[in-house]
Amino acid sequence: MKITIFGSCRQDSLYNDYEITKIKNDISYPHYTKEVIEIINFIKYNTIQPEDTTNIFRTPIMNQKPIYSNNYKNDFDTTDVFIIEISSKLCYEYNNNYVHHIIYDMDEYINNEVKNNILKRIQTDEEIENDIVKIKKELEHSKIIIVGHIVTYEKGERYNLIKLLEQICAKHNILFINPVKEFNKRGYDINNMTLQEDKIMHYNETGHNVIKTIYKEYINYLLSDVNYLIVYNSNLNKVRIGLNSGSIESNNIDDGGYVILDGLDYNLLLSCGISNDIRFENKFLDKYNNIKCYAFDGTINSLPDENFNKNINFIKKNITNTNTIDTTNLLDIIDNNDNIFLKMDIETNEFQWLEIVNTEQLLKFKQIVIEFHFVFQESNFVDDLFSKLSFPISVERRINCLKKLANTHYLLHFHPNNCCGTIFYNGIEIPNVFECTYVRKDLCNDITVSNKQIPDKLLDIKNTNNTDIYLSGFPFSF
């Protein structure tokens, strides 16, 4: 595996375990997003003449020797993982290029003629986000990890930058490493991991060994390609709707209801899959009592509770990808409504339906709770509880359905259904059946990757007939 580092000496421990390209040492240690883009453009598009590199990139500035983009093209094109350290919002612009700070800040490398024509400024948050989106697109042939600087105080410019990077990376499905947070999670004191400096900048030997382990974990996670199952935290509070009698801690409760994110309003509840349980719909409409509900299920003749909420309109149809006398694809309803809450448990038909829904239609849903069935099982799999189900859609296409949802919504709650065991996919244990709660990305703030074990003992209900499925580590928690 080949890795390219757009970073600094803080990634040097990786040289012992991976094939690292010569790009970092030969070209530059970039600090800000526009500097990373400058390097990418130089290699991909030959945007800078060799003689000009001695005023732009760190190594040519230090050596006063020009470099040539064609020397790095093969390394760039064959890189498996790019590790990109963003450590500053400051940028330095000279002659329509973004240059390394040493030509402005360090006496031994200052060229006064150049320095006097450098515009030094602070990038806006919007600029940084746009740059990261561009970086992701330019590197779409490979995997990327973005990492922040060593931040020990919850204030100041470094702290603000690392929080911004967390938000941006979560929004755009990019793995992000906050080094201090990772050290703390593992029980290490950052002061024992770094050199004794007035302002912490560098790792000591122990710190390099620990950060290498952290990088290796993230690289392995990244190559496992299940980022679409990363669970996030947000500013929204979780509540359980549809809980049946008893307490969560007791052993006399079967599975009932769903965990949703509170604090949002809706115009419509779409409930897909009822069977013999309408507790969620009744409780949801008690809470949001001015909205209508369409409830779909072609396997029953009427709602199971004669005291169902008056706002429920039952329709005896199953959900699939076509409209027939017995089925619906919901698209007419979606196109004519906004601010929809979707509840879906339709026994593997979720994949056929998700394949036909476009991005504009997905964005009509403020929140989605959905149960996925056997995402990673091959078509010939038969389970006692689902022996009559067919799998007309391949594993790859089922995974693409989850990826589609991850593009528009954050996965904010993950609950393993312990009815059907687990499967190992790319070395990660994943339940065969699981419930997901998604919220549209524009409705969420303070997005961070979850560090909580699954299931949540305060919210998730145990199926007492089976052992709980406990999940920790990537992608479920960091």
Cis peptide before 66 (omega within 30 of 0): no
Q: Which of 39-43, 187-191, 325-329, 444-448 is least confident?
A: 444-448
Alpha-helical runs (H) found in 84-204: 102-105, 112-115, 125-138, 156-171, 179-185
- Answer for the pair 181, 168: CB distance below 8 angstroms, yes or no: no
- Answer for the pair 321, 356: CB distance below 8 angstroms, yes or no: yes
Q: Which of 18-22, 291-295, 332-336, 471-475 is least confident?
A: 471-475
Per-residue pLDDT at 390: 54
Tell me whether domains 2-224 and 232-449 share a fold: yes
Task: Supply 404's token pair.
Answer: 């589609």
**What are the boundaries of each domain within the chain?**
2-224, 232-449
Q: Quick one: residue 177, left, alpha or beta (phi over 0 = left, psi -120 to 50 = alpha)?
A: beta
Q: How is domain 2-224 classified at the CATH fold level?
A: Rossmann fold (3.40.50)
Tens digit of each residue's pLDDT (9 = 90 or more) over 411-454: 999 999 888 889 888 778 899 999 999 999 999 988 888 888 89
Across 273-286, average pLDDT: 89
Give the C-alpha separation, 281 to 278, whole Å. 5
Across 73-96, average pLDDT: 96
- Answer for the pair 103, 110: CB distance below 8 angstroms, yes or no: yes
Per-residue pLDDT at 418: 86
Tokens 């007492």 identify what position?
Answer: 464
Give the C-alpha separation, 342 to 293, whole Å. 10
245-257: string of b/e by CB count within 10 Å (b at 16+)?
A: eeeeeeeebebbb
- Answer for the pair 83, 7: CB distance below 8 angstroms, yes or no: yes
Across 126-139, average pLDDT: 97
Those residues with Cβ within 8 angstroms of residue 57's Cβ, 6 or more apart along the chain or in another chain? 27, 28, 38, 39, 42, 67, 99, 100
Across 245-255, average pLDDT: 42
Per-residue pLDDT at 384: 52
Is the predicted pLDDT of residue 74 greater than 90, yes or no? yes
Backbone angles phi, psi at 203, to 5 degrees: -85, 150
Those residues with Cβ within 8 angstroms of residue 301's Cβ, 6 or more apart along the chain or in another chain? 316
Task: Supply 366's token pair.
Answer: 């403020």
Per-residue pLDDT at 424: 84
In CATH, which of 3.40.50, 1.10.730, 1.20.144, 3.30.1360 is domain 232-449? 3.40.50
Per-residue pLDDT at 249: 41
Give the C-alpha separation, 460 to 48, whole Å. 56
Residue 117 pLDDT level (bands cut at 50, 70, 90): very high
Nearest in space to 36 (alpha carbons), one of 11, 65, 56, 64? 56
Tens digit of each residue's pLDDT (9 = 90 or more) over 155-170: 889 999 999 999 999 8
- Answer for the pair 238, 413: CB distance below 8 angstroms, yes or no: yes
Per-residue pLDDT at 138: 96
Nearest in space to 455 (alpha carbons), one of 425, 424, 477? 477
Tens digit of each residue's pLDDT (9 = 90 or more) over 251-260: 444 556 899 9
